[in-house]
Structure 1
Amino acid sequence: MNPVLPPTAVVFDLDGTLLDSRGDIVAALNHALLTTGRNPQPAQVIVRLVGDGPRALCARAAKIPEDAPETDELIRLFLDYYREHPLDFTRWAKGALETIEALSAMENMSLGICTNKHRATTDVVLRALGIEDRFGAVVAGGDTKERKPDAAPLLLAAKQLGSMPAAVVMVGDGIQDILCARNAGTWAVGVESGFSTAEALIQAGPDVTVRDLSMLPGIVQRWREPTTRIKLR
């Protein structure tokens, strides 16, 4: 069932949605691979593996099971390097800062983050950017037993923001973001300028997709008007 409540909260994915972080993710992962005697992977290969947390990322890149003992060492090396180099290459996604400002200016609107990114690296990136206080809720990898596309992380973010799930807009560039929104009963916006293809996002069934975040405030405002709803895809 699609949400019917006017939005009172917008929750963002982080990597590929608010941030173009592919450069730092690639550098950290290739450091872990090289340190353990493995071959580095091309950036375009690594980017396709991003979205399900560091364990899945490291295991997929090394072509080993997630529960293999070697995976733990790869994760440690990946996270240690990332914490030391959080913003070497990371940039804001197009329209991200302007969108945060526009949404923050809306009456009765809260902002949050729901990411599968590890809690330690999420915190260091947000601190380095100086924006940790802009969000009323930040739910990161490990904060709940399950990760996106399970509903639990997004439901926790909604609870922390004081919003009913049906009044929350989940914004993300990954299939797991859209499926998480569907599982949680929230609005779902797919961002085509991120790591996933537009075709994959549309197939996941969002309420709408946007070319980039600059289109988001207008959509949210229209959803807040009782006589207007964007036609669902």
Structure 2
Amino acid sequence: MLTPTVVVFDLDGTLIDSRGDIVAAVNHALVATGRAPLPGQVIVRYVGDGARALCARAARLPETSESVEDVLRHFLDYYARHPLDFTRWMPGAQEMLERLSDLGDLALCVCTNKPRSTTDAVLAALGVGARFRAVVAGGDVAAKKPDPAPLLHLAARLGVQPHKMVMVGDGPQDIECARRAGARSIAVLGGFASQDELLDARPDVLLRTLGELWDVLRRWRDATVRLSTVR
């Protein structure tokens, strides 16, 4: 086992609880395009596969339909203007980022299906953009998670091998992306996916909160040190 040198975080449901702002932006887009708003618990079930898929599902349209463009435009415009009305840190997330940032040999990154415009708006509003060595958002590469392309793109940008990366996320998309890229995966409960969905995705580790991440990384790092000293 090699020491992980890069920790890659999903954003929505992993670092931040963005349900309220996503629901508000989707319902704004639905009303702006002459549709009825939806209950929040319905909308959050559509999150995870990018903004276009989210808007298509909420509007009851095929993702390939041209009519999705108008819904998506209203969604993105509203979200960019309201990135943090209701968004909060997930339990333990802010403290963990601060703690990991103190490790000089560990790069922190973000890999999200959230569109680039809203990703940048949220990170800027939170004031944490500088903590991340690199960010890959929806639309930056041709494919999105669970395809491995976003994570492989990050690896290439950083000049590291994927097996030295750890993907931390709250959805099966994150776990599958890591597996297909050849990276380790850590799933975190409390986001958009259920415990059963995460267990079915077979992550390397399942955490209750991000507060447990430090101990996992420490064990992996210590195990590597011990192995390297064996003659």
Sort the TM-score into its range (normalised by shorter chain). over 0.9
What residue is the counterpart of 2:222 in the other structure? 225
When structure 1 is superposed on structure 2, of 204-213 and 158-167 the one drifting more is 158-167
Q: For the aligned residues, what is the CA RMSD?
A: 1.3
| Map of 2:178 onto structure 1 | 181
- Structure 1 gaps of 5+ residues are none
Specify the SS of the correspondent of 1:38. coil
Q: Supply the distance in 2 between the matched residues of 1:17 and 1:75 (Cα, whole angstroms).
A: 23
1:74 aligns with 2:83: no
Which of 18, 25, 38 is the equivalent residue of 1:28?
Answer: 25
Contact kept? 1:182, 1:188, Cα under 8 Å: yes
Q: 2:80 maps to what in 1? A: 83
Partners of 1:125 and 1:6 in 2: CA distance: 31
1:153: which partner in 2? 150
Contact 1:16 1:93 in 2 (8 A): yes
Alpha-carbon offset, residue 107 of structure 1:
4.1
Matches of 2:45 and 2:209, distance apart in 1:
19
Calculate percent identity across the aligned residue pairs.
58
Name the structure 2 match of 1:200.
197
Find out whether 1:119 has 2:96 as its counterpart.
no
Which residues of structure 2 form unaligned runs of 5+? none
Distance apart, 1:134 and its partner CA: 0.5
Residues 34-183 of structure 1 mapped to structure 2, 5 A cutoff: 34-183=31-180
User: d(CA) in 1 for partners of 2:48 and 2:138?
Assistant: 10
- Shift of residue 43 of structure 1? 0.9
Residue 168 of structure 1: how far off its partner (Å): 0.5
- Please tell me whether residue 11 in structure 1 is matched to residue 8 in structure 2: yes
CA distance in 1, matches of 2:76, 2:45: 19
Superposition TM-score, scaled by structure 1 size: 0.94
State yes or no: 1:210 paired with 2:176. no
> TM-score scaled to structure 2, two decimals?
0.95
Partners of 2:187 and 2:223 lie apart in 1 by 22
Q: Secondary structure at the match of 2:91?
A: coil
Aligned length: 226
How many angstroms does 1:67 deviate by?
1.3
